[in-house]
Chains A and B, each alone.
Chain A
Amino acid sequence: MGTDLIRLTAAEMAAVIASGETSAVEVTRAHLDRIAAVDARVHAFLQVDTEGALAAARSVDERRAAGELLGPLAGVPIAVKDVFTTKGLPTTCGSRILEGWRPPYDATVVRRLRDAGMVILGKTNMDEFAMGSSTENSAYGPTRNPWNLDRIPGGSSGGSSAAVASYQAPLGIGTDTGGSIRQPAAVCGIVGGKPTYGGVSRYGLVAFASSLDQAGPFARTVLDAALLHAAIAGHDPADTTSIDAPVPSVVEAARGADVAGLRVGVVKELGGEGYQPGVLRRFAEAIELLDSLGAKVTEVSCPHFGYALPAYYLIAPSECSSNLARFDAMRYGLRTGDDGTSSAEEVMAVTRAAGFGAEVKRRIMLGTYALSSGYYDAYYGSAQKVRTLISRDFQAAFEQVDVLVSPTTPTTAFPIGERVDDPMAMYLADLCTIPSNLAGNAALSLPCGLAPEDNLPVGLQVMAPVLGDDRPYRVAAALEAGYADRWGHPLLEEAPAL
């Protein structure tokens, strides 16, 4: 029973728990057993909260027994990226500087998961402070791709994507600042959504680049991702950038799965040279499938997308250099070098040098440079103008089409270690995903097959206007159904057994 339980979708798990066929405790135990069996090899989790998970599951079972009406995901386990504060449960952001820190409060996302009766299994590995595309920048060692343990699981939310792809959890929470949900989803062969900026509260999400950071769902099916999206989205007064508008009807869209007459634009600038042939091949097939399902596919040009990557690597580091100033060795986190004679400033500098890894240091210094007087206009100022140009490209495109599509990332999962000391090569992994962060619009990645040259998953990205979050779910659900007809089984079933 245990093995079967973990392979259900989240919606199916919720249904068998609600019907009394099984209990939330049993479902939770099955996942804890799976974690114990495989995570020594995958290393998706930094912290497994066995006691807390079982207590949450018991509470769901008791409330159900008492006749309480529970939400659509009650009793379903979930893996949460270690960038969200969890009251009393260690939160490290993959950094030594926060080792052992137990936050005094829950992030709004975490609070909403608990309120939905969901069972938090633990906290997942990530690139330090969400800076990276491979999860290799974690101070606690890399996570491995369940499809091939020598490959990266993507990043920065690689722990959550690997956990979901390896059946350690049916659902995961990630954050996406430049692609950190969509790219790991793509390379792990699962679904990952980046909601419209401000669609999900950032309260308790440890900030990297505040104008770009956005939390979102990982799942093995489009409907599961939509159910999770709906559970965490919506206005939160504790986050001043949270949008005070109704949550787009993503669940309905995922159940709709109809693209007849939908106008789909292929972004001319996201493809071609520098992309892995197998990625382009699966992307072309996805376009054909959309066409066969009745969508009207055209090519659309977004002429400034080529400047999105350089603009991002000025804006994100600038915001990071400011946000990470809070790690000052004074109020929480690591403090080293406090020998009774050193000044606070010296202790601060020694602690930050010891507590941050190489990529975080690179970005803090890059941001400090971009914001310094004399360079501000040339770098940060110019990047902000590019951001305007990217938004204008999207606006013009969405006057012609309903959604835009591209490969999610130019390659499949690359080998662990390959790009770790070549920052520019690593940054290219986010080439296709960054424009949606700069413009704040909704986007999602779904699996569209395996690249023939390496048998690793390829992701298709669907982008929609701000607050048009329902559209990517509609397109993704239609494609998912189309692929199910073609393949006869979910893509993940082709992954080697762990």
Chain B
Amino acid sequence: MAITRDEVAHLARLSRLALGDDELDHLAPQLDVIISSVARVQEVAAEDIPPTSHSVPLTNVFRPDERQPCLAPDEALAGAPAVEDGRFRVPRILEEE
């Protein structure tokens, strides 16, 4: 087995996905099959082969550091789930004492 149900539950937490038991039961064996299958890449990934992260080589794409028009605050906030005083209103981000 490539991955256990407990490891899948840990992955869900890392991925910020609050999955129920049913979903974990369903996903865990599927992920196990997929991971076992894709592990084949190791067969040919020899040490001397350089990795490719991007197919078309590009380095340091810059633009002039000039002021440009951007979204107005009301446009940027228009899709927000909650807004207060011209800002994104979010649930508490600090743990309670």
Contacts and interface: CB of A to CB of B under 8 A. Distances in A.
A307 B41 contact: yes
B67 interface: no
B54 A211 contact: yes
A101 B95 CA distance: 30
Query: Number of contact residues on B: which range applies?
Result: 35 or more
A431 to B, nearest CB: 13
Contacts of A313: 34, 37-38
Contacts of A338: 81-82, 91
Given A101-B79, A386-B44, A310 B39 contact: yes
A368 B15 contact: yes
Nearest to B55: A440
Interface string B33-76: 11101111111111001111111101001010000000100011
A197 interface: yes
A389 B49 contact: yes
Contacts of B78: 102, 104
Contact of B91 (A342, A369, A379, A389): A342
A259 B41 CA distance: 37
A383 interface: yes
A310 B79 contact: no
A105 interface: yes
Interface in A356-381: 356, 358, 361-362, 364-366, 368-369, 372, 378-379, 381
A344 B79 contact: no
Interface of chain B: mostly helix, strand, loop or mixed: loop
B56 to A, nearest CB: 5
B23 to A, nearest CB: 8
A341 to B, nearest CB: 8
Contacts of B1: none
Query: Number of contact residues on A: which range applies?
Result: 35 or more
B31 A197 contact: no
Contacts of A391: 52, 55
Nearest to B12: A365
Given A240-B58, A343-B95, A330 B90 contact: yes
A416 B44 CA distance: 36
Contacts of B63: 237
Contacts of B80: 330-332
B65 to A, nearest CB: 13
Interface string A99-114: 0011111000000000
Contacts of A384: 51-53
A346 B92 CA distance: 10
Given A243-B56, A344-B91, A307 B17 contact: no
Contacts of B92: 343-344
B49 A385 contact: yes
A446 interface: no
A335 B37 CA distance: 35
B55 A423 contact: no
Interface of A: 101-105, 196-198, 211, 237, 240-241, 243, 304, 307, 310-311, 313-314, 321, 325, 328-335, 338, 342-350, 352-353, 356, 358, 361-362, 364-366, 368-369, 372, 378-379, 381-389, 391, 423-424, 438-441, 466
* Complex A-B, nearest 7 residue pairs according to Cβ-Cβ distance, in ascending order: A440-B55, A384-B51, A332-B79, A382-B45, A335-B81, A349-B18, A310-B38
Interface of B: 3, 7-8, 11-20, 23, 26-27, 30-31, 33-35, 37-46, 49-56, 58, 61, 63, 71, 75-76, 78-82, 88, 90-93, 95
9 contacts: A198-B56, A310-B40, A352-B15, A361-B27, A362-B31, A369-B7, A381-B51, A383-B41, A440-B55
